[in-house]
Amino acid sequence: MVQTASSSQMPAAGKAGEALSPGEARKAGEAGRAGEPLISARRLTKRFGAFTAVDGIEFEVQPGEAFGFLGPNGAGKTSTMRMIGCVSPVTEGELRVLGMDPATDGPRIRAKIGVVPQQDTLDTELTVLDNLVIYGRYFGKRRLSIARSLVNQPALMLLDEPTTGLDPQARHLLWDRLYRLKQRGVTLVLTTHYMDEAEQLCDRLVVMDKAKIVAEGSPRQLIERYSTKEVTELRFDPETRDRLDGQLAEALRGLAERIETLPDRVLLYTDDGEAAVAAAHERGLRPETVLVRRSTLEDVFLRLTGRSLIE
């Protein structure tokens, strides 16, 4: 049974994805009726006893999209993904996946999707996937999980925090792999708490917090809707902060559309960051460091929830 590793076998796992032409992907992923989304959720709810992990969320995923759930720990991302993957029953509401009902068509749906769970679940059963094991020895466990999920040439892939725990180089490699899959017509549904991952990979995403969806759109739309073009980050030395005794926001009032005071810095939300810096100087404020940057999804999350995404 055991195959020997030879260099010619190495790309075998990658080919599982490459063998899928866009046409095949579309065909394999065809929803029950033409024009129907690949996934649709109405008032989708998951409860564990009295605790509500997913609270009446609504979303649709269209064929060929890269769709993301962005949210902090405990937001309900995995609970949602497990319902989509038909491994956790829906408590309430409606869910359709590939035009089918997970409650009655779980096995048929599971046969058509590729799943990369949050926890790697590779085990001894993998002897049947010897070439993947060999691949995995070279490229690491996480990528083996992903390679395995491609075995049935899925038209829909569910990826729960695909790059958590990977080093930056491996993350970028994986982003590239996922991008190529998407180009082949594979629909990607992923969760992440990395804003840069969401910005890089997702055509559209929902921001989840405390079991609910708090916003939906493309990364660009979300930034336009909930933030300003630029953000100026000001860091003040401890003496200045003590002298102003929590009145920093007051001292900066009027310099930006919105001001967020974080423990270590103040964020000025304005379309012209440099102008805000100059105005602060005119008021005699001397920040230790100044950074003018463009808005990110982190700013969107902060605006929507009052909290930072990275805990």
Ligand X SMILES: Nc1ncnc2c1ncn2[C@@H]1O[C@H](COP(=O)(O)OP(=O)(O)OP(=O)(O)O)[C@@H](O)[C@H]1O
- The answer to the question of residue 305 lying near ligand X (CB under 6 A) is no
- CB nearer to ligand X: give 78 or 295: 78
Q: Which of 45, 78, 192, 296 binds Mg ion (CB under 5 A)?
A: 78
- What secondary structure does DSSP assign to the chain, as a single string? -PPPP-GGGTTHHHHHHHT--HHHHHHHT--SSTT--SEEEEEEEEEETTEEEEEEEEEEE-TT-EEEEE--TTSSHHHHHHHHTTSS---EEEEEETTB-HHHHHHHHHHHEEEE-SS----GGGGGGHHHHHHHHHH-HHHHHHHHHTTT--SEEEEESTTTT--HHHHHHHHHHHHHHHHTT-EEEEEES-HHHHHHH-SEEEEEETTEEEEEE-HHHHHHHHS-SEEEEEE--HHHHHHHTT-HHHHHTTSSSEEEE-SS-EEEEES-HHHHHHHHHHTT---SEEEEEE--HHHHHHHHHSS-S--
What x/- string results for residues 117 through 136 when contact with Mg ion is judged by CB under 5 A?
Answer: -x------------------
**Which position among 193, 201, 226, 270 is part of the footprint of ligand X (CB under 6 A)?**
193
Residue 77 binds to ligand X (criterion: CB under 6 A): yes
* Binding partner of residue 75 among Mg ion, ligand X, none, CB cut-off 5 to 8 Å per kind: ligand X
| Per-residue binding letters, 23-62, with ligand X (x by CB under 6 A) | -------------------------x--x-x---------
C-beta of 76 vs 287, nearer to ligand X: 76
**Cross-strand bridge partners of residue 92:** 45
- The count of chain residues that interact with Mg ion, using the rule CB under 5 A, is 3
Q: Which stretch binds ligand X (CB under 6 A): 69-77, 132-140, 146-154, 236-244?
A: 69-77
When the beta carbons of 236 and 301 are compared against ligand X, the nearer one is 301
Residue 118 interacts with ligand X (CB under 6 A): yes or no:
yes
Strand partners, 258: 269
- Of 67-75, 226-234, 244-252, 286-294, the window that binds ligand X (rule: CB under 6 A) is 67-75
Binding mask 36-75 for Mg ion (x = CB under 5 A): ----------------------------------------
How many residues bind ligand X, per CB under 6 A? Answer: 13
Query: Does 88 participate in binding Mg ion (rule CB under 5 A)?
Result: no
Q: Which residues bind Mg ion (CB under 5 A)?
A: 77-78, 118
